[in-house]
Amino acid sequence: GAGVSQSPSNKVTEKGKDVELRCDPISGHTALYWYRQSLGQGLEFLIYFQGNSAPDKSGLPSDRFSAERTGGSVSTLTIQRTQQEDSAVYLCASSLSSSGNTIYFGEGSWLTVV
């Protein structure tokens, strides 16, 4: 596709439920990133993929968060047993490679946990 595509764009879920957020990066981009943006906060790094491998998962807040990438393309971020503090915008981004290339963001998945 022309840009990074994320779904759903909006999600309201009940506390304790699991959610899956999907990212479809720009075609040919080998590097994929997940960031989180909370109200009044900057973008917080969550995880980085190079191909299907995740060399850096250091930003995942807890073991309730996991992510995978298949076929070197689509990635899914899963949040288990959601909590209210998980409410945020989850932004996916991709770049041609990991070495200082321009990083392009999707529109984000706006998650509200009630």
Interacting residues with other proteins (CB under 8 A): 4, 31, 33, 35, 40-43, 45, 48, 50, 56, 91, 95, 98-100, 102-108, 110
Q: Is 84 or 102 the residue whose CB approaches other proteins more closely? A: 102
Q: Rounded to the nearest whole angstrom, what is the least distance from the CB of residue 16 to other proteins in the complex?
A: 26
Q: Rounded to the nearest whole angstrom, what is the least distance from the CB of residue 104 to other proteins in the complex?
A: 7
Helix (H, G, I), strand (E, B) or coil at 86: helix
Q: Rounded to the nearest whole angstrom, what is the least distance from the CB of residue 79 to other proteins in the complex?
A: 19
Q: Is 13 or 107 the residue whose CB approaches other proteins more closely? A: 107
Q: Is 40 or 71 the residue whose CB approaches other proteins more closely? A: 40
Contacts of 35 (CB under 8 A, 6+ apart): 43, 44, 45, 46, 90, 91, 92, 93, 105
Q: Is 80 or 96 the residue whose CB approaches other proteins more closely? A: 96
Which residue type is seen at 95?
S
Strand ordering across the sheet containing 19-24: 5-7, 19-24, 75-79, 65-69
Alpha-carbon distance of 98 to 25, in angstroms, equals: 14
Tokens representing 44 are 């917080």
